[in-house]
Structure 1
């Protein structure tokens, strides 16, 4: 699936819920299905700077695709990173770099987060794109 198709699928899923309480519960459930990072990567080097919670992200290249794993010590944050990994994992670096993240506004996520969590969300996206940029540079 393309990044755009995955984003549209997420928008559709979120539209099924009537209120934000249900959406938060869905995000918590998504967090439980997160491809977990191996303990060896739960280090300062893999922490995302700018997040209120602790969020670790690891990436590697597999057959020209970036594969992400992550974990967080906060359940909502774990759900947020799970959504982002669902969108960006198993995609090529160029597509990750060119992808927009308007779907976040379309599901209303940013406006329903505290300012510190919203900043963390931006930091997570930036970090995932930085990994993609590093791989893109290595490929050229």
Structure 2
């Protein structure tokens, strides 16, 4: 069995990647000399552009290293364990045995009227693999497979 991403996962990944790209393209193709001349005496707008740069950095950092790297990983099961491919299944592959983990922890969240569940696979009190009902179509099947082979902490 392999994990299947929802359209929400692909939409979030596209949004995370394009948000800073759009800002860069606006910067690249705007008449930057006029912008700097206008900003020279306007501190409010200067602070806004600095704040916008900080937000871009945060979105890119959080999106790439937390959301896409950790939570949007492809999971496929083998006879003795499972494989995790980071970055939407395009990144590095990690192979784990069920015995490598102490168990799993479930956390429930309510956001904008929706219920989301995160499953953390824990080894030595450290979550190594995280997956969410937001990003996987077959989340319940994946969670059931882990429940067969691991204990819930």
- TM-score when normalising by structure 1: 0.29
Higher-Rg member (1/2):
2
Using CA pairs under 8 Å that are at least 6 residues apart, name the structure with larger relative contact order, 1 or 2.
1
Instruction: Tell me which protein shows more helix as a share of its residues.
Output: 1
- TM-score when normalising by structure 2: 0.27
